[in-house]
Amino acid sequence: MKGSGKNKLWKVLCLLFATTLVLFTGCDFFGSPKEDVVTISRSSAEIAIGETLTLTATSSEGRSISWYVEDENVAVVDDSGVVRGIGAGTTEVYADDGKAWDSCTVNVTFPEPDEPPESDPLTITLSSTSISMVEGGTFNLIAKMSDGSAVSAISWTTGDSGVATVTGTSTGCTVTAVGAGETAITATLGDAKATCNVTVAAKPPEGKDKYPILLWGDEFNGNSLDKSKWGYQIGTKDSEYGGGPDRWGNNELQYYTNSNDKVSDGILTITARREHVGDCDFTSTRITTRDKFSFTYGYIEARMKLPTGKGMWPAFWLLPQPSQVGSNSSANANGTWASSGELDILEVMGTRPNIVMGTVHYGGTWPGNQHSGKEYTLESSTVAEWHTYGVEWTADYIKWYVDDYCYSTINNNIYWSEASPGNPSAPFDQPFYILLNLAVDSGSFDPGAQGGPNADFTSADMQIDYVRVYQ
């Protein structure tokens, strides 16, 4: 029995040993431990900046993979292994399962330049290929580039700068007509060219240049006023021709004499003085060509140097010549003022020494009269310096000039006469005579002259170099 008990115990011990041996053998207890391995799909790669590359990785233990890069200035990688090139250079991209890792060397390069696409040749298109101009005129040419490039890069040339000049602009060019003739304006940019043919006609005459004949004039070359051309108006109203309103209808302060003028060295001087005559505290002179010379249509001009200051009112103007010599204005073709008209070539308020005024009076007899006109500002000058003042008078319009510059035009659809309904040129279709005078104003014309000249006023001169009438 003992023997069998020992055998039984031995069998149990042997069974336990065998079981333990089997367990240890299954755990590789007596061999090397099993290794975890991560493997990336490729060990190196090359991409360009902006391009992407997809890497894959496996873990021998089936663990999840995390991705990261060594230098994010070269490349970045997302959680799915997509690598994107950021900047030129080389970096390592890693796959890691927490126990093992693997890497891929990624080289990022600059992208290859694109091949330029084939394109049509560059062309320039101009808004006009042929233009006609008049001397002194300008014309704007618009240019367009077929590729949309900047027009300002175009080079502009003229075939003859004596005919036309050209200046480039942001949209094309400005052509200026210089002289009569023909030329071409060329636009050039690289191999592209475009041409506009330009024809320039001579500028038609205007102002006094339209009137070649000197019809009448006075150069004041003697030593006294030429009485065959001029007459004086004396006093405070038009006494010689039927009276008229007192103070010349304007509340003027002067008494007109035949002694406040002087001709010397080719200049007529009319002087306004502080001098008591009659019931007036000032004297001056007013001269006219009434009953001596009158004209209808043409160009009239005078060169003058005018007085300035409070109360000074120089004027160069025209009134209608009565149909009968020596008669008053009731004998005018269209009746009394202003139905027969008044044309003021020049008036100046002494308190505004750089302002010139040109006016026409028309319509009905006073007080149904009307007027139209315009002012002109002398730049960097005053009427106290020499200037020429003129009017071009036609059946269709009246134009005013200062130093040959036209500053105002009034067409015959503006003025009219109640005495000649339906006559588009009335009342300025009759002979008119010339007046020159220097009035002393109380403020009726110039609001700044109320009360007349300043207390220290003694005299002022209106100087006339010449008066000329052309037809």
Which sequence positions are flagged as catalytic?
A: 342, 347
DSSP H helix total and E strand total for the chain: 1, 34
Indicate if the alpha-carbon torsion angle 190, 196, 199, 204 is positive or negative: negative
Indicate if the alpha-carbon torsion angle 327, 331, 334, 336 is positive or negative: positive
Phi, psi of 292 (to 5 degrees): -115, -40
Strand ranges inside 164-226, DSSP E = 164-168, 172-177, 181-189, 192-201, 214-218
The pairs formed by 18-21 with CB atoms below 8 angstroms and a separation of 24 or more are none
Least Cα distance to 273 among 262, 288, 283 occurs for: 283
Q: What is the DSSP string of 286-318?
A: EEE-TTT--BSSEEEEEEEE---STTEEEEEEE
Indicate the pairing of strand 280-284 with strand 286-288. Answer: unpaired
Q: Is 187 left (phi over 0), alpha (psi -120 to 50) or beta?
A: beta
Residue 235 tokens read as 């006093």
402 within 8 A of 324, measured Cβ to Cβ: no
